[in-house]
Structure 1
Amino acid sequence: MVHPYAVLGFLAAVLPLVVTPGASLALLVQHVTAGGRRRALPVVLGTATGLYIHAAFAMAGLSALVMHSSQAFTAVKVIGAAYLVGLGVWTWRSATASARAPVRRHPPVRSDSVCTQALLANVLNPKAASIYLTLVPQFIEADHSFDAQILTLATAHALLVTLWLLAWTVLVRRASRTLQRPRFKRTAARITAVVFLALGIRTAVT
């Protein structure tokens, strides 16, 4: 069992990382803008699931292997960077295609597809994995179950991320009239694409 003060300390330490704009927030803005607040749920679910996967890797020692092996760490970075760049290119091309096509109703995007995008964006981010190797060990006690403590901190982390993304969902939906304009949707999609590209390049070079 993690002491409540340890949980609060962990949340305070991880808060700056949570509020820093990243792939999850970019996905949220893109999909909520395009399809409404219901699209936020799969983004939140995919992101939270990714955190639990990182926690599971940490419990299994896999994250330590990746972080302490330069080859494995580089492989994860390259895969993650390639995914983000590919997602950015796809998003930009989709926005460009919608600008050239006549205005019409598009079929809804499958929720499981959105969830998978958010999951991969989180799992393939080595910096997210590093949280469970650099921050988590500072808030667990050696005389208690490591797995239970890591799971508790991961749950607190997931709740914090969920609240942050839901807050952004409310902000995005309050501007619903503007957000529903086709021109704004295309602009938002292109900005999202640039964010993905920038994140992918940053991941590759850092």
Structure 2
Amino acid sequence: MTSFGITNFGLFLMAVLLLNATPGPDTAYIVGRSVAQGRRAGLMSALGITVGCCIHATLSAFGLTALLAASATAFMAVKLAGGAYLVYLGIKMLFSKQAPSTENREALDLRSHKTIFVQALITNVLNPKVILFFLSFFPQFVNHDSPHKIVAFLFLGAVFATMSLCWNSGTAMLAGTLTRHASNNPHVKQWLERTVGAAFIALGIKLATTRN
């Protein structure tokens, strides 16, 4: 690791583990999807968020994250876009129609998996808190004078994404399993989706109104 300029790699692994164990917006999003739409939806959300983290790590490696954070206008635009998108998703779930019949549900789920993945990806990429996290957290484990900073950032990003995917996938499986029997009832499923939709709206408003 030292050849890439990475320092305190063991501490980095412990910190990432603790960060994943601490509930946050990403965890709330994954749990919400799992509870309302099942384990597969939660797993696709976890995958989408992981890809979003990979994008953030890549942007950080090339210094683009720092440029975005330095521009108050650009940062505000990302924050408002992220909050608005969460509110949009919440409204869609809040006013969703009754769940389809069992014979049509499987075909609908197959079509919706890609959509759920993309939605999770967008919510992560447009979260300014994630931008600031990568900007402030990763540099602590890379030597400032290392000639391989880009490689170091990309490697740490890959490790972070792998650990996060494992943790978030387990969270999605657990949440989806605990509510599996309840969500099999179409009326209960619709109630769960509306509850989660309201939570997404609250998260979006909180994100958009948080001070820089």
CA distances 1:32-53 after superposition (whole Å, capped 9, x unpaired): 653x433344222211110111
Q: Which runs of 5+ in 1 are unaligned?
A: none
1:62–1:160 distance in 2 versus 1, CA, 3 Å: same
Letter in 2 for 1:197: I
| CA deviation string 1:48-98 (max 9, x = no partner) | 11011111111222111111111111011111111111111111111xx21
Could you tell me which runs of 5 or more consecutive residues in structure 2 were left unpaired when the two chains were aligned.
Answer: none
Matched with 1:129 is 131
**Mapping of 1:65-80 within 5 angstroms?**
65-80=67-82
Distance 1:191 1:160 in 2: 29
Is this contact kept in 2: 1:59–1:150, CA < 8 A?
A: yes
User: Structure 1 stretch 127-136 or stretch 177-186: which is displaced more?
Assistant: 177-186
TM-score with structure 1 length normalisation?
0.84
In the TM superposition, residue 162 of structure 1 has moved relative to its aligned partner by: 1.2
The 5 A counterparts of 1:114-153 are 114-141=116-143, 142-153=145-156
Letter in 1 for 2:83: A
By how many angstroms is 1:16 displaced? 5.2
Aligned counterpart, 1:204 = 208
RMSD: 2.5
In the alignment, is residue 187 of structure 1 matched against residue 187 of structure 2?
no
Number of residue-to-residue matches in the alignment: 200
Instruction: Give the distance between the partners of 2:115 and 2:80, measured in 1 at CA.
Output: 22
Query: Equivalents in 2 of 1:8, 1:118: separation in Å?
Result: 29
Correspondence for 1:110: 112
Change over 3 Å in CA distance of 1:178–1:124 after alignment to 2: same
Following superposition, the deviation at residue 143 of structure 1 comes to: 2.2
Shift in Å at residue 110 of structure 1?
2.9
Q: Deviations over 1:91-142 (max 9, x none)?
A: 1111xx21xx8x6233224322111011001000011111111111111123
State whether residues 33 and 172 of structure 1, in contact with CA within 8 Å, keep that contact through their aligned partners in structure 2. no
For the residues of structure 2 that align with 1:14 and 1:198, how far apart are their CA atoms?
A: 27
Q: 1:162 to 1:74 in 2, by over 3 A?
A: same
Matching of residues 44-55 of structure 1 within 5 Å? 44-55=46-57
Identity of aligned residues (%): 32
TM-score (norm 2): 0.82
